[in-house]
Chains A and B, each alone.
Chain A
Amino acid sequence: DIVMTQSPLSLPVTPGEPASISCRSSQSLLDRNGYHYLDWYLQKPGQSPQVLIYLGSYRASGVPDRFSGSGSGTDFTLKISRVEAEDVGIYYCMQALQTPITFGPGTKVDIK
């Protein structure tokens, strides 16, 4: 199974400031078709998760452009250009290259 790790696991943020979360996989998530099968999800308090980024860098429909995804191979990053109060929650990376699909442990983002 592909093991996903994230850092940091806790991230206090200041509104208006940038923030960054790292995700690493135990093997490359690059498929022969050239896509990286890495998604990012946010679970806001009391809500179901929602997709932010798919295939490493494609912003999902309706996701604000302050969110961006980058990376390749085994190392990926989610960046928030300017954090807003509504961005608090737990962020998960997920690999979909092969089953079983696996999630990272989550990064809890809250306001300082």
Chain B
Amino acid sequence: EEQLVESGGGVVRPGGSLRLSCAASGFNFDGYGMTWVRQVAGKGLEWVSGINSHGGNTEYADSVKGRFSISRDNAKNSLFLQMNSLRDEDTALYYCVRAGGSTVTTPRFYDMDVWGKGTTVTVTS
């Protein structure tokens, strides 16, 4: 079974840092681009960041650019999101998502076909 399991969420003060992790299983992790999508409770979906299959190309939403860093370890089937300078507005449920359309030869992050259950980040003083 194709599965993504997030971890690393928690409560942090404004200005603090957190590192989210996502463990992938059941598929060839190094064959797909990966993304992070977040959702504030009761609100819509917001794309946060994406990384291609080899890790050589990363993209970010303007709201997190310069503060968040996405990375991956294909040897360990893992995706990461380093979040620095956290703000109240970063409070959300963070999903790890496979971009099924983003293969080695196709760089776009579409067909998000495998989602984790999410990990909650709460930024509060």
Contacts and interface: CB of A to CB of B under 8 A. Distances in A.
Nearest to A43: B45
B29 interface: no
B76 interface: no
Interface of A is mostly: loop
How many chain A residues sit at the interface, stated as a range, is 20 to 34
B47 interface: yes
A78 to B, nearest CB: 15
Given A54-B101, A101-B50, A96 B110 contact: yes
Contact of A103 (B44, B95, B110, B117): B44
Determine which residue in A48, A94, A102, A106 has the highest number of CB atoms from chain B within 10 A of its CB, and name it: A48
Interface in B88-125: 95, 100-101, 108-113, 115-118
Contact of A106 (B44, B59, B110, B112): B44
Given A92-B45, A100-B62, A55 B101 contact: yes
Interface in B29-81: 35, 37, 44-47, 50, 59-62
Interface of A: 1, 37, 39, 41, 43, 48-51, 54-55, 60-61, 90, 92, 94, 96-97, 99-106
Identify the 7 closest CB pairs spanning chains A and B, nearest first: A96-B110, A54-B111, A48-B115, A101-B47, A99-B59, A103-B45, A100-B61
Interface of B: 35, 37, 44-47, 50, 59-62, 95, 100-101, 108-113, 115-118
